[in-house]
Chains A and B, each alone.
Chain A
Amino acid sequence: MSYFIEFRDVSFRYREDQPWVLKDVSFHVQSDEWLAIIGHNGSGKSTIAKLMNGLLLPQKGEILVDGVQVTEDTIWEIRKKVGMVFQNPDNQFVGTTVKDDVAFGMENHGLPRKLMVERIQTSLAAVGMSDYVAHEPHRLSGGQKQRVAIASVLAVAPQLIILDEATAMLDPKGRLEIMETIRNVQEDQDLSLLTITHDLQEVVKADRVIVMNQGSKWLEGTPRDVFSEKDKLRNIGLDTPFVTKLAAELSAAGLPIQREPLNHQELLEDLWTLHSKM
């Protein structure tokens, strides 16, 4: 089993006189998996994202991307393989129109014009923004801008996409739009996905979840495993989804709920089959 990204005892701090933001963190991202990193502000989760494509370099430990160590010399190759979508939809829109913005990354990597024109079409189609090719950013909603940002990343054909709190500044509708888009993209294309968030609702569809707390890896497992540790999560200030809370209350009230439900559907199934099991 080869890992696409591997962190080996990575430590990082912004300045020598400041405390470590990350302390001896080790983990990996497999090819084609969806890994979610959760944690609240200051847990070091965004730092992890910036370390993955060389926006920051670690003081201790090493980071391997596709078998290559992240150093000053390799960052440009690595940035072709690792695409990133940031939090603020406005502050990552470089082009004057949607088309120009999608082209920006490709222009940087020196792709020929013919290929750019092709990929602008395919990547905008993948995020459902084909009708907005010539729109200026101020005519788009936050969710639409984030979709364009995803298309811009897709256009460079990376192997991993990092979404660093990409939905945090959106309204519920925009948030849904983005999660939907990501799911479609991940199903259609061969890529790994890393979502960084403090919203537990967003991690239920992930293959694996890492919980960060105070610069260290605190918990790792499937969403179901992680949610079953509700008390611990609450202790470090992370709120569990409504369904999880409801299930906890139900079992406290004496109903034997077998598994940790991830969504309404699962809880419903457990409840209506409950009687036949008893």
Chain B
Amino acid sequence: MGSSMIIGQYVPGNSFIHRLDPRTKITIIFFFVLIVFFANSVMSYGLLTLFAVGSAVSTRIPAPYLIKGLLPVWFLIVFTFILHLFVTKEGEVLFTIFSFDFYTGGIIQGLAISLRFFLLILVTSLLTLTTTPIEITDAIEGMLGPLKKIRFPVHELALMMSISLRFIPTLMQETEKISKAQASRGVDFRTGSFKDRIKAVVPLLVPLFVSAFKRAEELAMAMEARGYQGGEGRTKLRELRIGKLDTYTYILFILLVIGLFLTRA
């Protein structure tokens, strides 16, 4: 397990979208998801597709990574299309197979919904592809900031997330070590019935949990020794800053929204 291990889907880069403030990205994606449902004409869909595909291309992330993000939902997209093909009975009959009529409305509707899905997934996957998990954590901390007023533990939540991220590789290495140690003592993880294999996981999980708790205790002590006393009076090294780039992005997005409503049928 070397440098190749990257948590999440982040693909390093220096594109304009990579450099955007993560809060900007989350905000834009949130509103994009909303406005996708307002599109109802060829022009309006075209505009949204142009925006989504244009953004994806501008990240300079190789296509295989983008496709990998779409794979889990590929089935859903195709399924929706087929469903509409059979269920929607609007417009003219286009052709008949085995005495079953296919309507133009079904095809159009199916295409539209599938396209919606595709756009949603593409745009949301751009967030995880261009933003490191720690940046997302910072953005969440920043955006949930107002909740501090009602005593929601925003800082603690963000710290928990970042410590979890930091310990994922450590615990994975540990799991590997324990599984090797147990295998050398004769635990068989690969063969046997499903029930046997589930049972074999127990001698893996118990030591892992014990060591994780021990780590947590030591980490807490180390944090305290380094002066950690909660979020109050704390300064931050990683700073989020809304820059010119973010302003341009917002303007572009507002133009998109205006364009969308002008081109709606």
Q: Closest residue of chain B to A95, judged by CB?
A: B166
The interface residues of chain B lying within 8 Å CB-to-CB of A93 are 166
Given A91-B219, A92-B218, A100-B238, A138 and B227 contact (CB-CB distance below 8 Å): no
> Which single member of B3, B218, B227, B238 contacts A79 (CB below 8 Å)?
B227
CA distance A92 to B165 in the complex (A): 15
Those of A76-119 within 8 Å (CB) of chain B: 76, 79-80, 83-84, 86, 88, 90-96, 99-100, 103-113, 116-117
Structural contact, B229 and A90, CB atoms closer than 8 A: no
Count chain A residues whose beta carbon lies closer than 8 angstroms to a beta carbon of B: 39
What per-residue 1/0 map shows which CB atoms of B65-90 lie under 8 Å from chain A?
Answer: 00000000000000000000000000
- Within the complex, the shortest CB–CB distance from A180 to chain B, in Å, comes to 23
CA distance A93 to B167 in the complex (A): 9
CA distance A161 to B113 in the complex (A): 63
Q: Is B134 in the interface zone, CB < 8 Å from A?
A: yes
Q: Closest residue of chain A to B162, judged by CB?
A: A96
Structural contact, B226 and A138, CB atoms closer than 8 A: no
> Which single member of B2, B3, B228, B237 contacts A100 (CB below 8 Å)?
B237
Q: Closest residue of chain B to A99, judged by CB?
A: B237
Q: Is A53 in the interface zone, CB < 8 Å from B?
A: yes
Q: Is A152 in the interface zone, CB < 8 Å from B?
A: yes
Count chain B residues whose beta carbon lies closer than 8 angstroms to a beta carbon of A: 32
Given A90-B215, A110-B234, A105 and B170 contact (CB-CB distance below 8 Å): no
Q: Is A274 in the interface zone, CB < 8 Å from B?
A: no
Structural contact, A103 and B237, CB atoms closer than 8 A: yes
Structural contact, A152 and B170, CB atoms closer than 8 A: no
Q: Is A33 in the interface zone, CB < 8 Å from B?
A: no
- Within the complex, the shortest CB–CB distance from B129 to chain A, in Å, comes to 18
Q: Is B147 in the interface zone, CB < 8 Å from A?
A: no
Q: Closest residue of chain A to B230, judged by CB?
A: A108
Structural contact, B222 and A109, CB atoms closer than 8 A: no
Q: Is B192 in the interface zone, CB < 8 Å from A?
A: no
CA distance A85 to B170 in the complex (A): 19
Structural contact, B237 and A108, CB atoms closer than 8 A: no
- Within the complex, the shortest CB–CB distance from A5 to chain B, in Å, comes to 15
Q: Closest residue of chain B to A90, judged by CB?
A: B170
> Which single member of A80, A94, A105, A153 contacts B219 (CB below 8 Å)?
A94
Q: Is B15 in the interface zone, CB < 8 Å from A?
A: no
> Which single member of B215, B221, B233 contacts A110 (CB below 8 Å)?
B233
Chain A interface SS verdict (over half): helix
CA distance A110 to B233 in the complex (A): 6
CA distance A53 to B236 in the complex (A): 24
The interface residues of chain B lying within 8 Å CB-to-CB of A104 are 223, 226, 228
Structural contact, A113 and B239, CB atoms closer than 8 A: yes
Structural contact, B235 and A116, CB atoms closer than 8 A: yes
Q: Is B224 in the interface zone, CB < 8 Å from A?
A: yes
Q: Closest residue of chain A to B218, judged by CB?
A: A91
Q: Is B173 in the interface zone, CB < 8 Å from A?
A: yes
Those of B1-27 within 8 Å (CB) of chain A: 1-3, 5
Structural contact, A138 and B225, CB atoms closer than 8 A: no
- Within the complex, the shortest CB–CB distance from B224 to chain A, in Å, comes to 6
CA distance A27 to B169 in the complex (A): 43
CA distance A152 to B238 in the complex (A): 16
- Within the complex, the shortest CB–CB distance from B134 to chain A, in Å, comes to 5
The interface residues of chain A lying within 8 Å CB-to-CB of B143 are none
Q: Is A48 in the interface zone, CB < 8 Å from B?
A: no
Q: Is A55 in the interface zone, CB < 8 Å from B?
A: yes
Those of B164-223 within 8 Å (CB) of chain A: 165-166, 169-170, 173, 214-215, 218-219, 221-223
CA distance A55 to B224 in the complex (A): 8
Q: Closest residue of chain B to A100, judged by CB?
A: B237
> Which single member of A55, A99, A112 contacts B225 (CB below 8 Å)?
A55
Closest 8 pairs between A and B when the two form their complex, measured CB to CB: A92-B222, A103-B237, A138-B169, A91-B218, A108-B227, A105-B226, A84-B225, A79-B227
Can you name 21 A-B pairs with beta carbons within 8 Å? A53-B225, A84-B222, A91-B218, A92-B218, A94-B163, A94-B226, A95-B162, A96-B162, A96-B165, A96-B166, A104-B223, A106-B237, A110-B233, A110-B234, A111-B235, A137-B166, A138-B1, A138-B170, A138-B173, A139-B3, A152-B226
Residues of chain A touching chain B, judged by Cβ–Cβ distance below 8 Å, are 53, 55, 76, 79-80, 83-84, 86, 88, 90-96, 99-100, 103-113, 116-117, 120, 136-139, 152-153, 156
For the complex with contacts A91-B219, A137-B170, 17 further pairs of A-B residues with Cβ separation under 8 Å are A53-B225, A55-B224, A79-B225, A84-B222, A86-B221, A94-B222, A105-B227, A107-B234, A107-B236, A108-B226, A108-B227, A108-B234, A110-B233, A120-B237, A137-B166, A138-B173, A139-B2
